[in-house]
């Protein structure tokens, strides 16, 4: 049986908040220390553009969000170029935000899987779950942003749940 589940606005907002919460006071995975306030502010401005594209994709679909995604990706690449010797840290910070967003969306999709099904008098319990996450988080910010906008607009997270009859113990 195939059942569709929707990512709700609340799930989307939680994912956005998760990414946004990685601010200058938080250490970014892979970095020895948090970025200084100036670079964190610049990253925040680029994240605002990415977030705008994600919001447009969630509410209106990919086509309306494509131009915003291209603009956000362009600004992210410009920021990396401007960062010079700080490019690694800036890149890591943006990728960490993107990963926090997608991880939270995946968690929301998994939370939609029912732990049991009742069919007539029979109860079936969740036996296992398979997750097909159709997104490639490449090192390229442009590719990552484009993929996340696509994921947000079309929900390309596939969760397969298998149920077995509950034992009467």
Q: What is the pLDDT of residue 27?
A: 56
Q: What is the pLDDT of residue 43?
A: 93
In the chain, count of helices (H) and strands (E)? 5, 3
Q: Which of 132, 105, 133, 124 is nearest to 167 (CA)?
A: 124
Indicate if the pLDDT at residue 2 is higher than 80: no
Q: Which of 133, 81, 87, 75 is nearest to 106 (CA)?
A: 133
- Name the more confident of 125 and 54: 54
CA–CA separation, 157 and 33 (whole Å): 33
Q: What is the pLDDT of residue 119?
A: 87
Q: How confident is the model at residue 4 (pLDDT cuts 50, 70, 90)?
A: low
């Amino acid at each position: 049986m195939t059942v569709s589940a929707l990512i709700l606005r609340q799930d989307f907002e939680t994912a956005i908040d998760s990414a946004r919460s990685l601010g200058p006071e938080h250490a970014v995975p892979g970095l020895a220390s948090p970025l200084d306030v100036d670079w964190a502010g610049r990253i925040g401005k680029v994240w605002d553009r990415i977030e705008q594209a994600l919001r447009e994709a969630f509410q209106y679909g990919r086509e309306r969000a494509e131009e915003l995604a291209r603009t956000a990706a362009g600004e992210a690449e410009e920021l990396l170029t401007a960062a010079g010797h700080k490019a690694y840290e800036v890149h890591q910070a943006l990728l960490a935000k993107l990963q926090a967003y997608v991880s939270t969306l995946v968690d929301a999709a998994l939370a939609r899987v029912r732990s049991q099904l009742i069919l007539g008098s029979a109860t079936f319990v969740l036996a296992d779950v398979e997750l097909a996450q159709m997104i490639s988080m490449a090192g390229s910010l442009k590719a990552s942003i484009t993929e996340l906008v696509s994921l947000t607009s079309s929900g390309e997270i596939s969760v397969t749940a298998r149920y077995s009859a509950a034992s009467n113990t």
